[in-house]
Chain A
Amino acid sequence: MLTLKCPYCGVHADETELHPGSEAHLKRYGPGSSDDEFEGYLFMRENPKGVHFERWRHVYGCGKWFLAARDTNTLEVFGTYSAQTTEPPQEIKEAITAKRPGWSWREFQ
């Protein structure tokens, strides 16, 4: 039973007020992309046992999507941040490094 802080309205929301939205920082591939690119975008999923970045929507609250950095093995939350970004902010990366030195996830580390 997670609680995540919505970075938009500041509420420490109970999991039941949220809606999970799978992997964060996906780059959309549309017409003209290769089969590999499209398959990667739509289906291939990071599934690490450890540091993971994912999307959540504060669906019963302010309605905003936000992103979370979380450990899938301990459920520790390193931080939540705005969905309007293509990569995790520096302070989130640092917070993870402080707890999980040497982490990496996709192209981020």
Chain B
Amino acid sequence: MSEAVSVMNGAERGTSIRVRDAGLQGMITLRGDLSAAKLKSAVKAATGHAVPKAREIAFADGKGVAWMSPDELLLLVPYGEADAAVASLEAALAGTHSLAVNVSDARAFFAVEGASARDVIAKIAPVDMHPDSFGPGELRRTRMAQAAAAFWMSDAETIHVICFRSVGQYMFDLLATSAETGAVEAF
């Protein structure tokens, strides 16, 4: 079987702030009634996490779940397990109105690491990156320069960014440029 390749094939740039292709990550778009017990337990089964509150994300060891909209979650699972997870979700949710679809290959996935990681985002997204306003546990869907993106922090110095695969190169270059021009030191 041919190897699956992530969009930037593991590329990395930067020193004090590092931007890297975070590799293949299994991702599933799940649409449905987020308050339904059946869905809640299916999500728990697939990811080990409960359905998060609005704008929140739970993510650990390659598995997680993010609130994307009132009727949409993004489930994060290891890349190779995504199809199986979709199948289990479909089975668990049979008979309810829902949609589970593997979107792992439709995404690019990056990590921004370093003390000024917040600045990298604040230069390109209309989001308040002040620690009082945004921190680990929260996911923000927004615009980064001219492309749609979502990001979350796993700790104070690590930000994960996802965007569409086709703009992966653009996003990588954008993040790297933002990182290379240094900190603003305004937080």
Contact surface of A with B, Cβ cutoff 8 Å: 8-11, 14, 16-17, 59-64
Contacts and interface: CB of A to CB of B under 8 A. Distances in A.
A17 B140 CA distance: 12
B142 A10 contact: no
A10 B54 contact: yes
B126 A62 contact: no
B68 interface: yes
Contacts of B55: 9-11
Contact of A60 (B69, B70, B72, B143): B143
Contacts of A60: 141-143, 148
Q: How large is the interface on B (under 10, 10 to 19, 20 to 34, 35 or more residues)?
A: 10 to 19
A107 B54 CA distance: 35
Interface of B: 54-55, 68-70, 72, 126, 140-143, 148
Contacts, number: 34
A9 B66 CA distance: 13
21 contacts: A8-B69, A9-B54, A9-B55, A9-B69, A9-B141, A10-B54, A10-B55, A11-B140, A14-B126, A16-B143, A17-B126, A17-B142, A59-B148, A60-B148, A61-B142, A62-B68, A62-B69, A62-B70, A63-B68, A63-B69, A64-B69
A59 B148 CA distance: 9
A61 B126 contact: no
B143 A62 contact: no
A16 B148 CA distance: 11
A77 B109 CA distance: 37
A10 to B, nearest CB: 6
Nearest to B126: A14
